[in-house]
Structure 1
Amino acid sequence: MKVKSKPGDFKVFEVLKEKPSKRDGKYRYYTLFKRGIETKEAIGRVAKLSRVSPKEILYGGLKDKNAETTQFIAVRRPLKLKEIKDENLRLCFVGYLDRPPKELIEGNRFEVLVRGVRKVPEERFRVLEDVGIPNYYGEQRFTPVRGGRFFVQELLKGPKCALVSLFAPAGWESSLSRRAKKLFIQGKFKEASSLFRGWRRKVSDFLSRGGSFEEALKLVPKEEIEFQLNVFQSYLFNRLLSDLIKGKTPNLVKFKYKLGYLYYPLESVSVPVELPAFTPKLDLYDSLISQIGVDRKSLFHLSDYFHSFKRKTFVKPKDFEIEEVNKGSYLLKFFLPSGSYATNLLRFLFSAV
């Protein structure tokens, strides 16, 4: 199966719970269209052109780089953003609202062109409509995981291991980024510093002047640590839900992903409507974390970095449509609530991704 052969094959349109007003509101709202650009990079460009700090620009979440995405961003009044009309980046003012995007995102509408697949078994459509699919986190959630190890495991080994984990290069990054990270890991902090931006430059520069790894780790933004720990929470949610489903019915399908296997039932199963995310105070995941050599008590000092929340175990797409546009190619249109992954639905329908 081929998905995202080009950005236009995968389109995402963010949906708000409220319609922006043309008259009044605490926040100015804009639609941000991007193609082949990471969300943070797009925000950085908007901030630079508008002469505001990137921290002042609010948004609901990160969107896929290899896609055409339209999302809402906002700034608190009286700040304004400069409208942009480039081919791969567009920004347009749409009105005002009293709450920031994170509180108002309802979900996303998707238009996905899938190539090189066989016809979907009718049973899958029935299950999709009657049961839904497990609300697993998608593969792209786990891009920070290197060699099957999580940041939290490296953090428990000490500040140096934690920093090396954060600076580990990835194949999908630019050659400049990979080069900078390799220099950092080799201990060439001064050379690496000249190639980095943001907090990675601060960390590299600090170490180049003889600073300790323990103090350097404190220069990493809290948001980055929280994100890395949330990746760990996401894995544990996937693993627990998959194990629960496997234990409820033999009538299921199994798919391999980056961190193991995920099970999808072909009939209704009795599992909790929601599952709480892992936190160091919760013993629900003890057997799972012990399997990867982590003791829950060793994480107590990190409690402030773990967000406490619940996630629905199953999700049903709304307004689902599928059309065969060519032999072996299908155009899918559907809506998913915020936090649910389109690639998860594609995996179930086409036994791939």
Structure 2
Amino acid sequence: MRIKQKPEDFSVKESYRFDEVESGRHRVYLMDKQKLSTFDAVNRIRDAFGLKPGAISYCGLKDKQGRTEQIIAVDGADVDMQEPDLRLKFLGRTDKPLSARNITSNRFSVTVRALTHDSLAPLNLAAAEVNRLGVVNYFDSQRFGALKHGQGFIAKDLIRGDFEAALHNYFARPSDLDRTEDAKVKGFWRDNWGRWDARVPFEGAKKYHRILRSLRDHPGDWLRAFLQIDSDYRAMILFEYQSFLWNEGVRRYLQLMLPREAMFPMRYQAGTLLHYRDATPDVLHTLREKTFPLVGPDTTFEDPKVAEAMAWVLGKEKLKLPDLRIKGAERMLYFKEEQRPLVMFPHKLVVGRTQNDDVNRGEIKVNVAFTLPPGAYATLVIKRLFHFEYTEDTKEDIRTSQRPRLVTTEHEEARVDAARSAARASEGPSRHRDLADKRPAPPAREPRAPSRIGRPARASREATPEPVKKGVRSDRAERPAARPAPVGTLTAPAPPEPEIPLGFRAKQKQRKQVKAESRAEKAEKQRLAAAKSAKKQKRK
């Protein structure tokens, strides 16, 4: 299964409320964005209109990979932006900045692609389990972008008091997966650490000008420089590690509450999560009503099992609760304690009818729609529904999805796809977990890009030869395998190969061409008939 192959495959609309005040200083806009994180969108608006940090407030963070709608409020300025990936619509005014209190729910519509008909039976069972049991309200991989990009938990540097390491990891540690100007800026400062007067030859450097000005004026004062980071992003750095502690605590709590055979694991960016398939009525009632704390230095526990679970997590991290206080910056950098529901229940869960997949030839797709409370992750619901075949991306998967496709013709594209398919088939057995009924692996599929949740084509599948019918000659079985050319190279036209099936658009174009030729032929016949008739009339 794969999602987010197209921006419209992952859609979220925010349900909101705010008190409209005609003379309010905060202008509220509906922001429609795609392929942009909330941070990126807000920064673009702020830079375009010269707004100060903190001038734009919003209710929550929305996924980068997809098309999302959410409200923002701009303090003291009228703005307008109508770009292909970022559009604003004025809604009214209010006298207060927006916060999470202004969200009531989020409605998601997700298209899941690259499915087979064998996926439908376990999907129906999983949907019944989700409706009855809910989904554990973990923080999903999107929350842990610093891990994805190799920065680690910057909050752990702050807890240790190593502010230089925290600052270095923030803006001088480029990601292998980042292809933007920001990665080039980070690479420059990695190579020129300490040379704060050096001139950065990249446009993205202005994002860090406040940090650099602090380092030039106060070299060696790493904490002062770190505090120049935008306050919202500083809070996110701490919240990222706090979310990891919450996930680990809930995972341990479920181990204390449920037998091992009632649960199954699922990998994600920061490790492994546990989900449950069933539980006794008493345990289900407890889980439904339970909240679990996002811990701070002064957190206390009423439930002894929650206390035991968090003690286990903190022991594994070699921490104690008082260690979560950042010495020297207690008022600017702090872990805010908060209670989070342990289980979420998707409302109005609808699994649509299956359709032919217009992106992945020969496979099917299905749309899943549901409503979630604020702060819950739609991708977790999708992963829980399709847990029987979902796997987390590796860095190599993400790198592969970012490689350009250097092809010029349909024939060349087909040849490159065949080469990639052969290369992946030789990598070994699939990373997908076997289903409970031990079905045989499906035949190899052509690679496609982009991937589900950032993954390119499904890792590797062993190609299964087609059965040869009696009395029918199989050219495929007798022809020796062609040696694939290097991917992305441009070569002279290859010798004729077996005809490649046309895609949907090609078929539509072919049908239109046939109809046009038919209409032209019909018009020509009518013209000749009219000319013949006119000639007869003239003779008379």
Q: Distance in 1 between matches of 2:52 and 2:211?
A: 20
Quote the residue 2:209 is aligned against: 201
- What is the Cα deviation at residue 94 of structure 1? 1.9
Contact 2:4 2:65 (C-alpha < 8 Å) held by counterparts: yes
Which of 262, 274, 291 in structure 2 is aligned with 1:274? 291
In 2 relative to 1, CA 125–200 (structure 1 residues): closer, same or farther, beyond 3 Å?
Answer: same
Q: Could you tell me whether the CA contact under 8 Å between 1:14 and 1:108 is conserved in 2? A: yes
Higher relative contact order (CA 8 A, sep 6+): 1
Residues 60-103 of structure 1: CA deviation (Å, up to 9, x unaligned): 12222221111111235xx3433333322211112344554312
Residues 108 and 336 in structure 1, CA contact (< 8 A), matched pair in contact too: yes
Identity %: 24
Aligned position for 2:78: 81
Amino acid at match of 1:9: D
Give the aligned partner of residue 40 of structure 1.
39
Alignment match, 1:242: 251
* SS of residue in 2 equivalent to 1:144: helix
> Partner amino acid for 1:181?
K
* Alpha-carbon spacing, 1:235–1:170, altered in 2? closer, same or farther (3 Å): same
Choose the corresponding residue for 1:318, options 347, 350, 371: 347
| Aligned equivalent of 1:338 | 374
User: Over residues 45-66 of structure 1, what are the superposed CA-to-partner deviations in whole Å (9 max), with x where a residue is unaligned?
Assistant: 3335555435222211222222
Structure-1 residue corresponding to 2:267:
256
Rounded Cα–Cα distance in structure 2 between residues aligned with 1:219 and 1:112: 38
Shift in CA distance, 307/219, structure 1 to aligned 2, threshold 3 Å: same
- Residue 185 of structure 1 aligns to a residue whose secondary structure is helix
TM-score (norm 2): 0.59
Shift, 1:314, TM fit: 0.3
Q: What corresponds to 1:212 in structure 2?
A: 220
177, 185, 198: which one pairs with 1:180?
A: 185
1:1-353 superposed matches below 5 A: 1-17=1-17, 27-50=26-49, 52-53=51-52, 55-76=54-75, 79-97=76-94, 99-102=96-99, 103-117=101-115, 118-119=119-120, 120-145=122-147, 147=150, 149-155=152-158, 156=160, 158-167=162-171, 168-186=173-191, 187=193, 188-191=195-198, 195=202, 196-197=204-205, 200-207=208-215, 211-214=219-222, 215-247=224-256, 248-249=258-259, 250-268=261-279, 269=283, 270-271=286-287, 273-282=290-299, 284=307, 285-301=310-326, 304=331, 305-323=334-352, 324-326=354-356, 327-351=363-387, 352=390
User: Structure 2: which amino acid aligns with 1:311?
Assistant: R
CA–CA distance in 1 between the matches of 2:22 and 2:324?
Answer: 48
1:266-305 per-residue CA deviation (whole Å, 9 max, x = no partner) reads: 1243446101111122364333122123343333345541
| Bigger CA radius of gyration | 2
> Which residue identity is paired with 2:341?
K
d(CA) in 2 for partners of 1:192, 1:337: 47
Which amino acid is the alignment partner of residue 139 of structure 2?
A: Y
CA contact (8 A) 2:6 2:66 kept: yes
- Structure 2 Cα separation of the partners of residues 144 and 136 of structure 1: 17
Deviations along 1:312-335, whole A, 9 cap, x unmatched?
Answer: 000011111111232431111111
C-alpha distance in 2 between matches for 1:135 and 1:36: 25
Q: Which runs of 5+ in 2 are unaligned?
A: 301-306, 357-362, 393-540
2:346 and 2:96 mapped to 1: Cα distance? 26
Please identify which structure carries the higher strand content. 1
The 8 Å contact of residues 150 and 175 in structure 2, kept in 1 or not, is answered as: no
Distance in 2 (CA, whole Å) between partners of 1:210 and 1:101 is 35
- Deviation, 1:260, is 1.6
- CA drift of 1:13 comes to 0.7
CA contact (8 A) 1:280 1:299 kept: yes
Indicate conservation of the 8 Å contact 2:62/2:68, yes or no: yes
Q: Specify the code of the residue in structure 1 equivalent to 2:44.
A: R
Structure 1 residue runs of 5 or longer lacking an equivalent are none
Structure 1 residue 180: deviation in Å? 1.2
- More divergent stretch after superposition (26-35 vs 329-338): 26-35
